[in-house]
Amino acid sequence: MKTVTEISALRQQIKAWKQSGLTVAFVPTMGNLHQGHFSLIEKAKTLADKVVASIFVNPMQFGANEDLDSYPRTLEQDQQGLKALGTDLLFTPTPDIIYPKGLDAQSFVEVPGVSEGHCAGTRPDHFRGVSTVVCKLFNLVQPDIACFGEKDFQQLQVIRTMVEDLSMPIDIIGVSTKREESGLAKSSRNGYLTAQQQDVAKVLYACLQHSQKALQSGERDYSSIIQTAKNTLSKAGLKPDYFNICNKADLKEAKVDCKSFVILAAAFLGSVRLIDNIQVDIND
């Protein structure tokens, strides 16, 4: 596996592959990789001739009081994992390379609708940072395919919408969430949890599963389902951020006749913010 930091070296390699008629799949990450990330690489390898990964801790998507400075940076370990999976190229730019004018002077991409509410409720500029950096990385890598985890479902829908709205010739592939045996979604931020907190954290997915069963059984009193879930989370020691039952396509509040749902949830456990979701399709 080749690792490059400069844009010129990245573009030179991509150009050579494209001139040879090879297809490229891309997996953008912020590093501190775990099995969830590696499953994206494994999926990408089945879809294209070459796989490019990036590691970039994007300052634009962090709020003023968030964990940018303390975000885990494990480049050597990440490189070993990516190499073992047969990743072809790793791009590791610095903030100065991605944002040479600085954040205040950087053009940005904003995706209306799906980037509003849910995670944006407590992180108002987060998805502007995500869509901007992903758009820029897409322009640099020029992939045919890009793989993203379904754990960050709102992010996935933001990127899908951006690609559609801006007519980017890229297939966006969602990859199923990888979980611990307890059901807890694998996340870089799980490393902040103690063993006891990890045991508590599994309640988030259990609440999603319980709500899924309620919808599948025909329950349509969404406010009651949501309140039950929030009460369960609070009783377990989690502080609910949101728990929303949505139409899967546009992430708006589900109507009574909805057939394709996603339940989006976030909760704090101490200082750690956990997110998760579950999809529910009703077949008559």
Residue 192 has pLDDT above 90, yes or no: no
Query: What single-letter DSSP state applies at residue 247?
Result: E
Burial class for 34, CB neighbours closer than 10 Å (0-12, 13-18, 19+): middle
Tell me which residues are annotated as active site. 37
Q: Are 278 and 262 in contact (CB under 8 A)?
A: yes
pLDDT at 64: 74
For residues 70-88, average pLDDT: 95
What residue has token string 């006749």? Answer: 257
- Residue 60 phi/psi, 5-degree rounding, is -70, -25
For residues 254-267, average pLDDT: 96
Distances (CA, A) of 84 to 3, 49, 66, 78: 14, 17, 32, 10
- pLDDT single digits (tens) 132-169: 999 999 999 999 999 999 999 999 999 999 999 999 99
Q: Are 167 and 175 in contact (CB under 8 A)?
A: no
pLDDT at 67: 75
Query: Which band of pLDDT confidence, cut at 50, 70 and 90, is reported for residue 38?
Result: very high
Query: Which band of pLDDT confidence, cut at 50, 70 and 90, is reported for residue 284?
Result: low
Does residue 172 or residue 66 have the better pLDDT?
172
Domains assigned to the chain: 2-175 (3.40.50.620), 188-277 (3.30.1300.10)
Q: What are the helix and strand counts (H, E) for the chain?
A: 9, 9
Percent of residues, the chain, with pLDDT higher than 70: 100
pTM equals: 0.95
Q: Are 269 and 197 in contact (CB under 8 A)?
A: yes
DSSP SS3 for 281 = strand
**Angstrom distance (rounded) from CA 79 to CA 137:** 19
**Angstrom distance (rounded) from CA 95 to CA 122:** 24
Nearest Cα neighbor of 153 from 250, 224, 58, 45 is: 250
Beta bridge partners of 247: 261
